[in-house]
Amino acid sequence: MRLFRSNLRKLVRRPATYITFLLLVGLLALVLVAVVAGSQQSTDPDAALAARLFVTFPQAYELVLAMVLGIGGLLAVTYGAAIAGSEWTWGTLKSAVARGESRTGYTTLGYAAVSVFTALGLLAAFAIGVLASAAGAIVIGVSLDGMGDTAALGGLPEQLLRAALALAMNAALGFAIATIARSQLAGIGVGIGLYFAEGIASLFLPDVIRWFPFAASAAVTSGAASGSVTVGGEPVTTSSLDPNTAVVVVVAWLVASLAVSALWTERAEIGG
Amino acid sequence: MTDRFEAGTALATEGLRKRYGPRVALDGLDLRVPTGVVYGFLGPNGAGKTTTMRILTGLVHADSGRVELLGRPFGRGDRRRLFEVGSLIETPSFYPFLSGRENLRAIAATGARTADARVGELLQLVNLGERARDRVSGYSLGMKQRLGIAAALLSDPKLLLLDEPANGLDPAGIAGMRDTLRALAAAGKTVLVSSHILSEVQQLADVVGIIANGRLVREGTIAELLSHEGAVRVRVTPDEIQGAIAALDALVGPGAASSEQGPEPGWISVRFDPARSAELNRALADGGIFAARIEVGTTLESLFLSLTASQPDVGAATAPRPPEPPPSPGWSA
């Protein structure tokens, strides 16, 4: 427990934690501002209607969550890679191992702290996104009556849990990549590369790519059941997994990523 | 069990071998560090010092050979043995965004359980109390080194392994470190220090081991090593060095005399009984060379250079193997 608490304390003080969160919120706000501005300037009635639906509750809950998941997936990979990679880059893993700390324990508890922060980031970003949507609705003149929809609100905890699981898996993937690369920068770079490569590949091999980590994590919530993954933040139609299958696939990727991180750390010869 | 692992030994290795691909880092290292001493671990770059340190702290694993820490075998799966070992391997490693105090607390959360109060004590000990709240990213190299020594002492270890601990320290810092390490040894703890600063080791260490090409070439107390070498140092003018070496070789035997590479030119080391040093003087005079100075005995530096300077870096597959060293005084064969 003392190591887990120590990891939480480190992440609280870590600039990467705040930079990642601010990026997520900033990109989310940018999308919503673009939607609102577009709806007011567009002469196309269909585009204006689409923009209005974007900020119309209770559907806006699902849309905000899908956006957080889409942008957050990429950021969670980079965050996980930054945390795991820095242990190698800064040599702090070396210090822990030389003190007799378990390599597997150190890796998994480090990841556990990261997953706590990705879940907190998800909740905070979702709350900010909902408030921003509500503000957008007021600007456009859409009613906020749907915000109190009991069915939508009742389903939110489960949807948020699913999203938290997906982001935790994305962070674990970043963890594994950086552990294999033994480098913070390489881990982040490869993580971003994989994110975009998977998005592009989904255009050509949708039935295969839907089993891949980013596509599966984008499909865990019911809002994504209609089928979309993101390419650079832009939704692309594809044949998504159904949400429950996606959860199973996400868990499998999470376990595999953690196993790779632990095994790699356990077997590594640590220098530097 | 061989004698190398006898009682009163804090650290011992036997036949330790390690390769990195084609490069041989350790080639059968036999080491014995008695309990309660400061042990100076010397060797040129690439001799295998840091690889040895890494093996002793579980960072890498030996291809073969045995290690014993504090009286018990140490290998894969024995990580808890390191709870009683403190170490500073290569450069000190910290989170740059945390303060010195927070870094020590983060390190204390790993390995052996450490009391919170220990962090404050150690920050005072290494004279970082006033900068304890500052981020480590703003620390100088010497301050990081002092924090690294504090980190190594966190669990009040019985055995301390320090790799070049004087790196970046100012004279006051070096003196402080020396006092601390001497005090630890006086309290019955064992300190193994690898260093390139031979004068520092000469002041600090009770016992010295010299490693070259992944093998131990000498081990013993400094006094024993220097007297055992039986060297005489002769100083001539630089243009007389070759003639002097020829004259001395003719007296003592080929290869007995060698020019030193120190800052003062003209010094020649001769492996010869110091009691017969007058014979050296006569041989030089017969050759028309007059020594400016003759000193009996040797320095740790000249001994180090004579043992290691002619040997290429570890890893040269075709490198000639160093001659088998004679058993050093105090060595339990």
Residue range B289-313, pLDDT digits in tens? 999 988 876 667 767 777 776 443 3
Cβ of B82 and A98 within 8 Å? yes
Residue from A18, A92, A95 to probe the interface with B (highest B Cβ count within 10 Å): A95
Establish if A19 belongs to a structural domain.
yes
Would residue A272 count as lying in a domain? no
Q: Give the C-alpha separation, B7 to B128, whole Å.
A: 38
Q: What is the pLDDT of residues A23-62, one digit of tens each?
A: 999 999 998 888 888 777 777 777 777 778 888 999 999 9
Residue B128 pLDDT > 60: yes
Which one of B80, B93, B111 has the shortest CB-CB distance to A92?
B93
Q: Is the pLDDT of residue A230 over 80?
A: no
**Which of B60, B80, B107 lies nearest to residue A95, judging by beta carbons?**
B107
CB pairs under 8 A between A and B: 90
- Among residues of chain B, what percentage have pLDDT more than 90? 52
Task: Write down the pTM of the prediction.
Answer: 0.81
* pLDDT value of residue B320: 40
Q: Give whichever of B235-249, B268-282, B312-326 has the largest mean pLDDT.
A: B235-249
- Residue B95 sits at φ, ψ, to 5 deg, of -85, 115
Of A9, A13, A100, the CB nearest to B112: A100
Q: Are A61 and A130 in contact (CB under 8 A)?
A: yes
Check CB contact of B61 with chain A, cutoff 8 Å: yes
Q: Domain range holding A233? A: 2-267
Q: What is the model's pLDDT at position A234? A: 58
Distance (Å, whole) CA B145 – CA B162:
11
Pick the more confident residue, A235 or A239. A239
Residue A151 has pLDDT above 70, yes or no: yes
pLDDT (0 to 100) of residue B168: 83
Q: Out of A49-53, B145-149, B327-331, pick the least confident.
A: B327-331
- Give just the sign of the alpha carbon dihedral A230, A231, A235, A237: negative
Radius of gyration over every alpha carbon of chain B, rounded to an integer in angstroms = 22
Strands B159-163 and B85-88 come out as parallel
Chain B neighbors of A184, CB-CB under 8 A: none
CB contact B137 to A (< 8 Å): no
Rounded Cα gap, residues A254 and A257, in angstroms: 5
Split at pLDDT 50, 70, 90, the class of B284 is very high
Q: Using alpha carbons, list the distances in angstroms from residue A2 to A111, A239, B80, B113.
A: 15, 45, 17, 9
Work out the pLDDT band at B324, boundaries 50, 70, 90. Answer: very low
- Residue A132 within any structural domain of the chain: yes
Distance from the Cα of A177 to chain B's closest Cα (Å) equals: 21
A interface test, pick of B53, B87, B93 with most A CB neighbours within 10 Å: B93
Is it the case that residue A200 has pLDDT exceeding 90?
A: yes
- The per-residue pLDDT for A190 is 92
Q: Rounded to a whole number, what is the distance in angstroms from the first to the last CA of chain A? A: 28
Top pLDDT among A119 and B311 is at A119
What residue in A sits closest to B50 (Cα-Cα)? A271
Q: What is the pLDDT of residue A227?
A: 46
pLDDT band at A8 (very low <50, low <70, confident <90, very high): very high
Q: Do B110 and A3 touch (CB under 8 A)?
A: yes
Measured between CB atoms, does A99 come within 8 Å of chain B?
yes
pLDDT single digits (tens) B19-56: 999 999 999 999 999 999 999 999 888 889 999 999 99
* Residue B276: predicted pLDDT: 80
Q: Which three-class secondary structure state does DSSP give residue A116? A: helix
- Residues of chain B neighbouring A6 (CB-CB closer than 8 A): 105-106, 109-110
User: Is B107 in the A-facing interface, judged by CB distances under 8 Å?
Assistant: yes
Q: Which residues of B touch A270 (CB under 8 A)?
A: 54, 59-60
Q: Which of A43-47, A84-88, A152-156, B165-169 has the lowest mean pLDDT?
A: A43-47
Closest CA relative to residue B325, chosen from B303, B307, B300, B304 = B307
Q: Is the pLDDT of residue A159 over 50?
A: yes
Q: Quote the mean pLDDT of chain B.
A: 84
Separation in Å, CA A241 to CA A63, A197, B1: 18, 19, 62
Across the interface, of B59, B97, B113, the residue whose CB is closest to A94 is B59
What is residue B157's predicted lDDT score, i.e. its pLDDT? 95
pLDDT exceeds cutoff 70 at B321? no
Quick one: average pLDDT of B267-283? 83
Give φ, ψ of B293 to 5 degrees.
-150, 150
pLDDT surpassing 70 at residue B325: no
Domain membership of residue A246 (yes or no) is: yes
Average pLDDT over residues B253-270: 81
Q: Report pLDDT for B319.
A: 37
Smallest CA–CA distance, residue B88 to chain A, in Å, is 8
pLDDT of residue B322: 42
Going by C-alpha positions, the residue among A251, A22, A262 that lies closest to residue A128 is A22
Our CA-based measurement puts residue B38 at a distance from the nearest CA of chain A, in whole angstroms, of 20
Distance from CA of B5 to the nearest CA of A (A): 22
Judged by CB atoms closer than 8 Å, whether chains meet at A98 and B107 is answered as: no
pLDDT at B119 over 90: yes
pLDDT of residue B316: 35
pLDDT attached to residue B326: 37
A267 Cβ under 8 Å from any chain B Cβ: no
Nearest-neighbour CA in chain B from A234: distance (Å): 35
How many domains is chain A partitioned into structurally? 1
CB contact under 8 A, A98 and B96: no
* Residue B135 in this model has a pLDDT that exceeds 90: yes
